[in-house]
Chain A
């Protein structure tokens, strides 16, 4: 079974400042990792994913996340945030391989609040 921990329920940050949203997971098998973003009153949108290969993955709007197997982490970062980045961010994990659940397991979410 897998589990995901997002340590921060809310992260306030000033516009143009850097931000890191933390995500740690536990799993007895290899995993795929995802970050989803939920803007106010909207559904989830896939922000980026780690499936294999390079451990650093990037989105088109400046976010990046790095898979760290030894620390079982997949933290999300952005060097300079905009007001439009205000949203709820969810980290999710799925186990790989025979016998692993296909279900996406979500963290409880981190609310990013970008202030002017």
Chain B
């Protein structure tokens, strides 16, 4: 039973390029969460998605960042026109049920480390 799969594990981009990070949730999980970890800091919530729906994107920067979780395929976190401040580790987590269902323990992926030159 594969866990949460994220790719690429490492991504290097130059300023102004686009970054696409992919997340395949655990089998049977239909709820996906993205978190960002800046250097020397804890994880910060970015967005919560279900299939074909963005439920909460209150943690997403207003510009350049977008996320989707299509009916088929992985969830994608897209960062347009990257800047050096976007350099961070981006973690995806999934859960089998929604937040209203009990403890809703999240399972995290290994993360995607973005470096912007």
- Chain A proximity mask over B94-109: 1 for CB below 8 Å, otherwise 0: 0000111001111111
A105→B42 CA distance, assembly (Å): 9
A42 adjacent to B43 (CB under 8 Å): no
B44 adjacent to A104 (CB under 8 Å): no
A87→B42 CA distance, assembly (Å): 14
Q: Is the interface of B mostly helix, strand, loop or mixed?
A: loop
B104 adjacent to A43 (CB under 8 Å): no
Question: A97 to chain B: closest CB distance in Å?
Answer: 10
Residue B45, interface by CB 8 Å: yes
A4→B41 CA distance, assembly (Å): 12
Instruction: Name the segment of A12-20, A55-63, A69-77, A106-114 touching the other chain.
Output: A106-114
Chain B residues proximal to chain A, CB less than 8 Å: 6, 33, 35, 40-45, 48, 56, 59, 91, 98-100, 103-111
Chain A residues proximal to chain B, CB less than 8 Å: 4, 6, 32, 34, 36, 42-46, 49, 51, 90, 94, 102-109
